[in-house]
Structure 1
Amino acid sequence: MTHTEDSSHHTSSAVLEYVWIILGALALTFVLRTFVFNVFTVPTGSMLNTIQEGDLLVGEKVTLLWDQPKRGDVVTFRSPADEETLLVKRVIATAGQTVDLRDGAVYVDGEKLDEPYTEGKPSTSLASQPGAKITDYPYTVPDGCIFVMGDNRTNSLDSRFFGPVPLKNVTTKTLFIFWPINHARGL
């Protein structure tokens, strides 16, 4: 083998190695995004001031395989209006629990929730809005569903409007905000 042949063989081996590294990285990214984590941008201000419009969040999918979301968890789910759109809200109640909205506060199974993340914004019924699915309170969450609300109670269409969210529509449990860096923190 001549020096030129040896050099071109070495170059083609290096290129092939880089191609395999890139393909492996792409495959790993696909597997992680499909089965383990999801990264998404918050499109609205419905979770202010906990989450800002435009924040990038990381959510995990794995624990949803054997565990259900709990009260206080921040989750993403497919929008009832458009399954291609992900919404992010806080779990207020789970299957079998009763939600009541009175005097601007949320009660679950008769106990008033301590909700510092709402910053005192009143939690009122959206029953008077055209298209509201829940018009009577107290409301019992059906089996296989959760009741969610945005932290920005005066600017959030949530279970008060579109009804309970089926567990099969929940896509992730949100772990943390990672961008912008000055908002980065766990949820």
Structure 2
Amino acid sequence: MDTEAQHTERDPSSDTEEGSRSARVSDDSGRAPDDTGRESEDPARVPEESGRAPSWRRTALVGGVFVTFLLLLSHFVIQPFLIPSRSMEPTLQVGDRILVNKLAYRFGSEPARGDVVVFDGTGSFVREQPEGDPVTGLLHDGAAALGLAEPDETDFVKRVVGVGGDRVVCCDKDGRLTVNGVPVQERYVMLGDRPSSVPFDIVVPQDRLWVMGDHRSQSSDSRDHLGNPGGGMVPVDKVVGRADWIAWPFGRWSTVPGTDVFDAVPAAPAGGHGAGAHG
């Protein structure tokens, strides 16, 4: 009887071994046996096993990539600009967000008469300014690049009226602006405005532009800088790009209207015109 009893009793050490095995299973796989002897998942370990980052990290990563893409796009291809003034009415209105094509003049093309362009007026429309706080400037540039802030005070949007070699005069006996002796019917000018209340007769130097706003009575443009260094002429290499689209508000979504009013204007003579008198 003692021998049979020894065979039917469990060795206490076996409980210890089974417990150790169960503990190892739980430690290694994240699963522990339940009351029925089956392994159950440890809910606390599921996120760790999945390898998924917290949702806010994914959101921040996607947002960062998106903003970086927009900044690169605006730096090299298309940049949004906010229109802050009435100087280009009726073509562009206050609050419009335009998309400027920065590739328009990158591959040998140059601004043409009638193009609406954005340019850096430093040295032509405004004097060189001392550098301010670089951090503030960087934040502003980023917001402006996304069209969320007004452009720098050195950035302007105007219409090209004369290119290198052109003689631009205002006004003839009928009150019209002429380019290379040909009268131009400027249909884009704000209704009720004269072509210019300031008389002028200028010859545009090579690699320069004569630019004017469509709302002539509300525009500070080349006419206002005739006596400044450069005579109000904008260097071609200061042009940021051509304004091709109105992106906002949605009700004004469209391309920036082109114009054919300069089609009859001949090219400037190869030798250039004689110097004109500044009015």
Pairwise TM-score range, normalised by the shorter structure: 0.7 to 0.9
The CA deviation string for residues 103-147 of structure 1, in whole angstroms up to 9 with x for no partner, is 4321111111121111352122536xxxxxxxx51x111111111
- Within the candidate set 128, 144, 162, 2:207 is matched to 144
Give secondary structure in 2 for the equivalent of 1:88. strand
Task: Tell me how far 1:59 sits from its aligned partner.
Answer: 0.7
TM score, norm. by length of structure 1: 0.84
Shift of the 142–8 alpha-carbon distance from structure 1 to 2, 3 Å rule, reads: same
Counterpart in the other structure of 1:71: 113
Task: Please tell me whether the aligned partners of residues 176 and 185 of structure 2 are also in contact (alpha carbons under 8 angstroms).
Answer: no
Distance 2:78 2:104 in 1: 11
Task: Tell me how far 1:41 sits from its aligned partner.
Answer: 1.1
* Bigger fraction of residues in strand: 1
Distance 2:220 2:63 in 1: 42
Give secondary structure in 1 for the equivalent of 2:45. helix
Distance 1:120 1:105 in 2: 14
Give secondary structure in 2 for the equivalent of 1:64. coil
The count of corresponding residues between Structure 1 and Structure 2 is 178
TM score, norm. by length of structure 2: 0.58
Task: Tell me how far 1:21 sits from its aligned partner.
Answer: 2.9
Distance 1:97 1:77 in 2: 20
Kindly provide the amino acid, as one letter, of the partner of residue 126 in structure 2: A
Distance 1:99 1:171 in 2: 23
Counterpart in the other structure of 1:7: 47
Distance 2:61 2:83 in 1: 34
Counterpart in the other structure of 2:163: 94
The CA deviation string for residues 151-176 of structure 1, in whole angstroms up to 9 with x for no partner, is 01122111112211111221120011
Give secondary structure in 2 for the equivalent of 1:76. strand
Counterpart in the other structure of 1:122: 194
User: How do residues 1-187 of structure 1 correspond to structure 2 at under 5 angstroms?
Assistant: 1-2=29-30, 3=42, 4-10=44-50, 12-13=52-53, 15=55, 17-66=58-107, 67-79=109-121, 80-81=125-126, 84-85=152-153, 86-103=155-172, 104-118=175-189, 119=191, 121-124=193-196, 126=198, 136-137=200-201, 139-162=202-225, 163-187=232-256
| Structure 2 runs not aligned, ≥5 long | 1-28, 31-41, 129-151, 226-231, 257-279
Distance 2:49 2:212 in 1: 61
Task: Please tell me whether the aligned partners of residues 87 and 213 of structure 2 are also in contact (alpha carbons under 8 angstroms).
Answer: yes
Query: Looking at CA atoms only, which structure, 1 or 2, has the larger radius of gyration?
Result: 2
The structure showing larger relative contact order (alpha-carbon pairs under 8 Å, at least 6 residues apart) is 1
CA RMSD in angstroms, aligned pairs only: 2.1
Task: Please tell me whether the aligned partners of residues 123 and 154 of structure 1 are also in contact (alpha carbons under 8 angstroms).
Answer: no
Distance 1:41 1:152 in 2: 17
| Structure 1 runs not aligned, ≥5 long | 128-135
Percent identity (aligned): 29
Task: Tell me how far 1:181 sits from its aligned partner.
Answer: 2.0
